[in-house]
């Protein structure tokens, strides 16, 4: 005969199983979004035609796991000039170089969809 304690244990086990499943799906969605952003950056960043083009310098760094997982996307060797291309700048000779945004559009395109998908995962399980 089932007691209240066994019933509560079963409910607790079911909740733990549910949360572990949701965590794995959330991690997968985060990884998927990071891959999309990285691919977008590599295809839309300026290419100089040289060996070390900016588009080829983007990397993904993953730290932690579960709810503490953080994915950083950065330009390995061209990071100090990205803001100049993203926002535009005035050259030393006075010539204005117009902005060529490629980072902000990547995050604006993929991040809202990821957030909506996460909300749905939490709602529906």
Q: How many domains does the chain have?
A: 1
Span 59-63, average pLDDT: 92
b/e sequence 14-49, b meaning 16+ C-beta within 10 Å: eeeeeeeeeeeebeebbeebbebbbebbbeebeeee
- Residue (of 25, 8, 20, 5) closest to 117 by Cα position: 25
Q: pLDDT tens digit string along 67-121? A: 788 999 988 887 788 888 889 999 899 999 899 898 899 989 998 998 998 888 8
Confidence at residue 3, expressed as pLDDT on a 0 to 100 scale? 80
- The whole-number pLDDT of residue 37 equals 93
The answer, yes or no, to whether residue 48 has pLDDT greater than 90, is no
Question: Who wins on pLDDT, 12 or 49?
Answer: 12
Mutual orientation of helices 103-124 and 4-44 as an angle, nearest 10°? Answer: 160
Q: Do residues 29 and 121 touch, judged by C-beta distance below 8 A?
A: yes
Average pLDDT value for the chain: 86
Here the tokens at position 29 are: 């969605």
Single pTM value for the model: 0.77
Residue 61 three-state SS:
strand
Could you list the residue range(s) of the whole structural domain that residue 94 is in?
4-124
């Amino acid at each position: 005969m089932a007691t209240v304690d066994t019933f509560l244990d079963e409910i607790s086990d079911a909740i733990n199983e549910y949360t572990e499943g949701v965590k794995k799906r959330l991690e997968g969605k985060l990884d998927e979004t990071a891959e999309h952003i990285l691919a977008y950056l590599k295809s839309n960043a300026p290419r100089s035609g040289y060996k070390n083009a900016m588009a080829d310098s983007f990397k993904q760094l993953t730290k932690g796991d579960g709810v503490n997982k953080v994915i950083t996307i950065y330009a390995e060797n061209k990071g100090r000039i990205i803001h100049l291309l993203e926002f535009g700048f005035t050259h030393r000779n006075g010539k204005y170089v117009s902005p060529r945004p490629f980072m902000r559009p990547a995050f604006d395109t993929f991040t809202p969809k990821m957030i909506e998908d996460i909300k749905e995962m939490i709602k529906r399980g």
